[in-house]
A and B are shown apart, each in its own frame.
Chain A
Amino acid sequence: MFQPIIDRLYRMKIGTRTAISFFAVVMVVLMFTTASVLLLQYGKNIDKRIESSFNPVISAIKDYHILIGETGHLSADLSLQPSEIKKIRLEKILERGYTRQKLRVIGLCQEPGLADIKKRIIGVDKQFESVARMERDLIKLMDTAGAYQDANKLEKAKEIRIKLEEKISKQLYSLSETSLLAISVFNKLNTQKFASYRTLTYLLLIMIVVIILVSILSIYITNVTIIRPIKELSAILDEVGEGKIISFQSDINREDEIGTMIASAQKVVSGFKTKEQVANAIGKGEYNINVPLLSRKDRLGKALIEMRDNLLRSKIKEAENLKSLEAYTLKLEKKNKELDQFAYITSHDLKSPLRGINNLTEWIEEDMGDQLSADSKGYFKMMRGRVHRLEALINSILKFSRAGRSIDDQETIKSKDVVLEVLGQLNPKPECSVLFDETLPEVIGNKRDLKEVFLNFISNAIIHNNNPHPVVNITYKSNDNFYDFCIADNGPGIPKEFQQKIFTIFQTLERRDDVETVGAGLAIVKKIVEEYGGLTWVDSDEELGSKFYFSWPKYPIPPEHQHPV
C-alpha cells in the first residue's frame, strides 16, 4: 500500500523530503490552531449573544409582566376608591408606557431564535387590547368622585374589575410561560457553547494523534529511505575497509543523495576491484598490463604503475643475472673438465716417466750385477723408494681431486657392513682389537665414498698406533639429520696445535722415511664428508688417544639444510 508512496519518496531529494515533512507538520498545527481559535470565537459569540440579547429580553419580559400586573392593580384600586395619582398613572401606562414596553420587547426579539417569543408577545399584546379597553371604560365610568357613591356604577366597576383580574392573570401566566421559553432558548445556546468546547477538546486530541502519526511516519520514512541504506552502505564499506574487495550491486535504486552516495561507493569499490585485478595480473607477471588511472589524482594507480615498472626492471635484471650465472656455471663446468683433464694427465703422463726411471734403474742394476758397490745399490734402492713415493703422491692427488665426485650415485648403505668390509681389507694384526657398535645405522650415500672414509680413519687408527695392544672403537650418535660417527683409538694422540692441520693434504706428523704415508687420507675424508654436507673433527688427548668424528646424513638433504662449514 505504501510502496508507490515510498517509491515516489525515493525519487525525491532528501532536502525536499525533509521540507515536505516539516511543512506537513506545520500545516497540521496551523490547521488545528485555526480551528481551535474559530471554535473559541464561536463560544465567545454565544456568550456575547446571551449577554447582549437574551438577558435584556428576559428582563424586558419581566418589566412587561410587571407593567401589565400594575395596570391590573391600578384598575382594581380605582374600582374601589378614587385616587387621582393612580388614575393618572394608569392613563399614562395605557397611553405610552405600555406601547413603549411592548415595542421594546418586540424590538429585542429580532434574533431568529426568539421568533417564538416575539409571536407570543404579539399574542399577549392582542389580548391586552381588550384589557386596555376595559380599563379605559373603568376610568370613564369612575371619572368623578360621585360615581363612587353610585351603587350602580360601583356594581358595574366591580364587574369590570373581576373580568379584568381574570384576563390579566391569564396574560401574566402566558408571559411567565414566555419567560420560561426564553430561558430555555438561552439554555439551548449554552448547550451549544459547551458542545463547541467539547469539539475543541476532541480537536486537540486528534491533533496530538495526527502529529504523533506524522512523526512516526516521518521516522519510518527516514529509517527506510536514509538510515537503512546508510547502514547497508557502511557495512559494505566496512568490508572494503577490512580489505575484502567485493563488487556490490545495490538493490537501492534511487536518485537522491543516498543514490549518489551509493554510486560513489560503487565507484570506490569498482576502483579497488580494478586495482586488485591489475595487481593480481602484475603479480602473475603480466608486466605489459595497462593500469587504468581513475583520475590524475589516482595515487594508488600511480603506485601500481611504479610497482609494475620496478618489477619489470628487476625481472630484466634477474634475467641478466641468470644469464651471467649461466655463463658462470658454464665456465665453472669447463674449469671442472679442465681439472679432470689435469687429473688424467697427472695419472698417466706423470706416471709413465716415473716407471721409466724405475725400470731403467732396475736394468742398470741387473746389467751391472756385481760391479755395483753396496753403497750404489743402496742409493738405487733409495731412488726407487722416492719414485714410489712420488707415484703415491700423484695417486693421492688424483684421489683427492676425485673425492666425493660420486655423490650423485646414492643408495641406502648399512654402515656396519661397510666397517666389516674395511676390516676385511685391512686385516689387522691379532694383537690389535677393533670394536664397533653392533647397531651401526643405515645411511644414505655412495658406498665407495663411505668406505673410503671408514678405511682412512680405521687404517690411521691402526697404522699410527704405537700402543702394544692397539684398540679401535667405532661408535655413533644420532642427531637431527645426521649420524655422528666416532672412531676412537688408544694411540699417541694429537697435540692441540696440529689438530686442524692434519685435515690438510700432504700434512703428516711423522717423517715419511719412518712411516711411509702420503698424508692425503684425512684431506680426502674431509672433502668427501663435506661434499655430503657433514663435518669432520677431532678430539684428542695426548694420553688417552684420539677420537675422530664425522657426521653423515641420514637421508638426502638439500644444500641449504646442511651443516654450516
Chain B
Amino acid sequence: MGEKIVNILLVEDDEVDVMNIKRAFKKNNVTNPLFVCNNGLEALDFLHGKRDPSIVDLPKIILLDLNMPKMGGIEFLRELRKDESLKNLSVFVMTTSNEDKDKVDAYNLNVAGYILKPLSMERFIEAVSALNNYWKLCEFPDK
C-alpha cells in the first residue's frame, strides 16, 4: 500500500495540549508532519500560504480546538467552509466543551469528528490512535 503521508494542522492555543498531541502522536507512531497554529486567524493565514511559503503540501487534516483567542473554532470553521479552496478539508474537533450547541454547530459545518479531550493521557492516546487508523484508510484528493 503506497502510503501517502498527509500533513496535519493542529489549531490549539494551550501549549500543554499541543505537547499532549505531539506526545500522543509519538506514542502511536504517527509520523505525519504536524503544523501548529495558535488561533483561527493564524490557521487561515497558514492555509492560504501566507505564513510559511516554503510549504508545498498544505495540510488536508485539521485538528481544531474550539476555545481560542482572536478567532474561535466555530468561527474558523465558518470561514473555512466559505472559502472555495479550503472547504473540502477534513476537520476533527478536539475540545473540552460538552455543550450540545457546540456539537450541533460543529456538525452543521461538516466536521469529520467531535472528540472530547479526556482528562487522562492514556485515553487521549487511544483516541489519537483511532484517528490515525481512520485517516490512514481515508483517501484524499491530490489537490
Please state if A352 and B96 are interface contacts (CB–CB under 8 Å): yes
Interface size for B (C-beta < 8 A) is 17
Please state if B121 and A359 are interface contacts (CB–CB under 8 Å): yes
Please state if A391 and B67 are interface contacts (CB–CB under 8 Å): no
- Chain A residues, CB < 8 A from B20: 359
Please state if A347 and B121 are interface contacts (CB–CB under 8 Å): no
Q: Is B81 an interface residue (CB 8 A)?
A: no
Please state if B96 and A358 are interface contacts (CB–CB under 8 Å): no
Q: Is B16 an interface residue (CB 8 A)?
A: yes
Please state if B16 and A388 are interface contacts (CB–CB under 8 Å): no
- Chain A residues, CB < 8 A from B120: 358, 362, 384
Evaluate whether A360 and B98 lie within 8 angstroms (CB atoms) in the complex, with A355-B119, A391-B119 already known.
no
Q: How far is the CA of A352 from the CA of B95 in the complex (A)?
A: 9
Please state if B16 and A360 are interface contacts (CB–CB under 8 Å): yes
Q: Chain B at the A interface: mostly helix, strand, loop or mixed?
A: loop
Please state if A356 and B14 are interface contacts (CB–CB under 8 Å): yes
Please state if B67 and A348 are interface contacts (CB–CB under 8 Å): yes
Q: How far is the CA of A475 from the CA of B113 in the complex (A)?
A: 43
Q: Is B57 an interface residue (CB 8 A)?
A: no
- Chain B residues, CB < 8 A from A362: 120-121
Q: Chain A at the B interface: mostly helix, strand, loop or mixed?
A: helix
Q: How far is the CA of A363 from the CA of B2 in the complex (A)?
A: 35
Least CB distance, B118 to chain A, in whole angstroms = 8
Please state if B121 and A358 are interface contacts (CB–CB under 8 Å): yes
Please state if B14 and A352 are interface contacts (CB–CB under 8 Å): yes
Q: Is A387 an interface residue (CB 8 A)?
A: yes
Evaluate whether A356 and B17 lie within 8 angstroms (CB atoms) in the complex, with A347-B98, A388-B119 already known.
yes
Please state if A356 and B16 are interface contacts (CB–CB under 8 Å): yes
Interface size for A (C-beta < 8 A) is 18
Q: Is A349 an interface residue (CB 8 A)?
A: yes
Please state if A363 and B67 are interface contacts (CB–CB under 8 Å): no
Q: Is B139 an interface residue (CB 8 A)?
A: no
Q: Is B23 an interface residue (CB 8 A)?
A: yes
Chain A: CB-nearest residue to B27:
A366
**Residues of chain A at the chain B interface (Cβ within 8 Å):** 344, 347-349, 351-352, 354-356, 358-360, 362-363, 384, 387-388, 391
18 contacts between A and B (CB under 8 A): A344-B99, A347-B96, A348-B66, A348-B96, A349-B67, A352-B96, A355-B17, A355-B117, A355-B119, A356-B14, A356-B16, A359-B16, A359-B19, A359-B20, A360-B16, A363-B23, A388-B119, A391-B119
Q: A347-B97, A351-B96, A363-B23 are in contact. List 17 more A-B contacts (CB 8 A).
A: A347-B96, A347-B98, A348-B66, A348-B95, A348-B96, A348-B97, A352-B14, A352-B96, A352-B117, A355-B119, A356-B14, A356-B17, A358-B119, A359-B121, A360-B16, A362-B120, A363-B121
